[in-house]
Amino acid sequence: MLRSHTAVAWYLDGARTHVSLAGDPVAAVVVRPSGESLFVFANEADRLLAEELGDASDLEVVRVPWHEPLVPAGLDALGALDETDAAADLRAARAALLPAELARYRALSREVAEAMTDAALAASPDDSERAVAARLSGDLAARGIDPLVTLVAGRSRLAHRHPLPTDAPLGDRAMLVVCGRRHGLIANATRWVRFGPADPAETDAERRILDVEAAFLDATVPGARLADVFATGTAAYASHGFDPHEWTRHHQGGAAGYAGRDPRAVPGLPDVVQLGQPFAWNPTAPGAKVEDTVLVGSDGIEVLTLDPRWPTVTVAGRARPRDLRRD
């Protein structure tokens, strides 16, 4: 039984499974050796079938009254396996993107990066964080992208790792963070914009956090255990002049795709990196953070959230984002 947005959207080839972004999926799938059954609330069925599923002739469609449980409880009595009982196997099954999925993901990632560049270029020091977030979220929505996360921190709030936007002005430096979803896939990126001259200490921290990210990316190769990639990346904090415990103050990212992190990397995680799998590592320290959605390709790491307009610096042979200067 597939019940989560992550699993159902993946199984239904990118169908939108929500009405409210904060709500449960309006559809579930029961997969049997003999075929699949789509359980969908009756008041959502016609729209879902017409606009999200295309040819659904291979699905048994079960229309469920809105006031009843989406999946009958009786299925549990038949020994049905819930997705939570097969979480690791399902992650492995959807880890490597198929060609059609990858085409969608490349387009999504590029547009997320473009929207972030547009928002940064339109911003001014007097803009409130909420005004910037509104423009950014609106641009994403206009592109058919659900803004699952839109964070903006101006100078006064850079100490916060997850800065939900407020009325505070940007000031001379700001961080923008986006997690955008389309066709069930989620692209993640962080960008920094600066108004006026650089601060040498901040510039140094920015450069060193890119070196930490490089350790994560260099270790993200097919066949590597995520536990080992995580250990390599977190050890790099001390190697590059940060507090060795800095990694404990914010999550470091992990595999990406149909979930913001699929899964979020933690010590000891046994999942294995696959060829064709997306990742989004996000090492961070006070006043410094980097985050892009990348793909483990046959020729190494491919950055997906890329906009040629954004300034970059080369680190470990890769173009990595630096502050966008607005003088």
Predicted local confidence at residue 184, as pLDDT:
98
Q: Residue 28: pLDDT above 60? A: yes
Predicted local confidence at residue 300, as pLDDT:
97
Q: Residue 200: pLDDT above 80? A: yes
SS3 108: helix
pLDDT bin (cut points 50, 70, 90) of residue 77 is low
pLDDT bin (cut points 50, 70, 90) of residue 243 is very high
Q: Clarify whether residues 62 and 159 are in a common domain.
A: no
Helices (H) and strands (E) in the chain — how many of each? 8, 15
Q: Which domain holds residue 66?
A: 5-94
Q: Clarify whether residues 127 and 242 are in a common domain.
A: yes
Q: Give the count of domains, the chain.
A: 2
Predicted local confidence at residue 81, as pLDDT:
87
- Helix axes of 129-142 and 99-122: crossing angle, nearest 10 degrees: 140
Predicted local confidence at residue 135, as pLDDT:
98
> Is there a contact between 14 and 104 (Cβ–Cβ < 8 Å)?
yes
Q: Clarify whether residues 141 and 20 are in a common domain.
A: no
CA distance 207 to 194: 15
What mean pLDDT, rounded, does the chain reach? Answer: 96
Q: Residue 185: pLDDT above 90? A: yes
Domain boundary among 94, 128, 163: 94
pLDDT in tens, 294-318: 999 999 999 999 999 999 999 999 9
Q: Clarify whether residues 65 and 118 are in a common domain.
A: no
pLDDT bin (cut points 50, 70, 90) of residue 78 is low
Domain boundary among 75, 94, 113: 94
Residues 255-264 have a mean pLDDT of 97
Predicted local confidence at residue 76, as pLDDT:
61
Residues across the chain: 327
Q: pTM of the full predicted structure?
A: 0.96
Q: Clarify whether residues 186 and 308 are in a common domain.
A: yes
pLDDT in tens, 145-179: 999 999 999 999 999 999 999 999 999 999 999 99
Predicted local confidence at residue 80, as pLDDT:
76
Could you give the percent of the chain with pLDDT greater than 70?
A: 98
Q: Clarify whether residues 249 and 192 are in a common domain.
A: yes
Domain boundary among 44, 79, 94: 94
Q: Clarify whether residues 87 and 105 are in a common domain.
A: no
Q: Clarify whether residues 89 and 114 are in a common domain.
A: no
- List, as one string, the DSSP characters of 251-299: --EEE-BSSSSTTB--TT---B--TT-EEEE--EETTEE-B--EEEETT
Predicted local confidence at residue 55, as pLDDT:
77
SS3 139: helix
Of the listed ranges 51-55, 149-153, 175-179, 253-257, the one predicted with least confidence: 51-55
Which has more pLDDT, 119 or 57?
119
Q: Clarify whether residues 123 and 88 are in a common domain.
A: no
Residues 7-17 have a mean pLDDT of 96
User: What is the token pair recorded at 293?
Assistant: 């959605």
Residue 209: CATH number of its domain: 3.90.230.10
Q: Clarify whether residues 219 and 140 are in a common domain.
A: yes
pLDDT in tens, 110-140: 999 999 999 999 999 999 999 999 999 999 9
Q: Clarify whether residues 112 and 58 are in a common domain.
A: no
> Is there a contact between 294 and 280 (Cβ–Cβ < 8 Å)?
yes
User: What is the token pair recorded at 17?
Assistant: 């499974």
Q: Clarify whether residues 151 and 54 are in a common domain.
A: no
